[in-house]
Amino acid sequence: MKKLIFYLSVFGLLVLCFKTRAQDVVAIGVRGGISIPNLSGGGSSEQNPLNTGYSSRTGPDAALFAEFKFSDLFSIQPMVEYSSEGGKKDGFQALPTPAAIGAAYQAQGATAPTYLYANYKSEAKFNYLMVPILAKFGWNFAEKSPWRVYVDVGPFVGFLLNAHQVTSGTSNFYADAAGKEELPYGEQNLNNNQNIKSDLHSTNFGIEGNIGFAYNLKSSYVFVEGGGNYGFLNIQKGTANGKNNIGAGTAAIGYAYWFK
Radius of gyration from C-alpha coordinates of the chain: 23
Phi first, then psi, for residue 16 (nearest 5°) are -65, -40
pLDDT at 24: 59
- CA-to-CA distance for 63 and 229, rounded, in angstroms? 14
Query: Are 89 and 121 a contacting pair, CB within 8 Å?
Result: yes
Phi first, then psi, for residue 45 (nearest 5°) are -75, -15
CATH number of 2-90+123-167+193-259: 2.40.160.20
| pLDDT digits 0-9 by tens, 187-234 | 999 999 999 999 999 999 999 999 999 999 999 999 999 999 999 999
Query: Coil, strand, or helix at residue 100?
Result: helix
| pLDDT digits 0-9 by tens, 94-112 | 999 999 999 999 999 999 9
Please tell me what DSSP assigns to residue 171. Answer: E
pLDDT at 22: 47
pLDDT at 144: 87
Range 76-100 average pLDDT: 96
pLDDT at 143: 85
DSSP lists the bridge partners of residue 137 as 74, 151
Query: Are 256 and 217 a contacting pair, CB within 8 Å?
Result: no
| Confidence check: pLDDT of 16 > 90 | no
pLDDT at 47: 85
At 260, is the pLDDT very low, low, confident or very high (cuts 50, 70, 90)?
Answer: confident
Range 5-14 average pLDDT: 54
pLDDT at 140: 95
- CA-to-CA distance for 236 and 132, rounded, in angstroms? 22
Q: What percentage of residues in the chain have a pLDDT greater than 90?
A: 83
pLDDT at 8: 54
The domain ranges of the chain are: 2-90+123-167+193-259
Range 128-154 average pLDDT: 96
Burial class (CB in 10 A: 0-12, 13-18, 19+), 34: middle
Task: Give the number of other Cβ atoms within 10 Å of residue 7's Cβ.
Answer: 16
At 18, is the pLDDT very low, low, confident or very high (cuts 50, 70, 90)?
Answer: low
At 163, is the pLDDT very low, low, confident or very high (cuts 50, 70, 90)?
Answer: very high
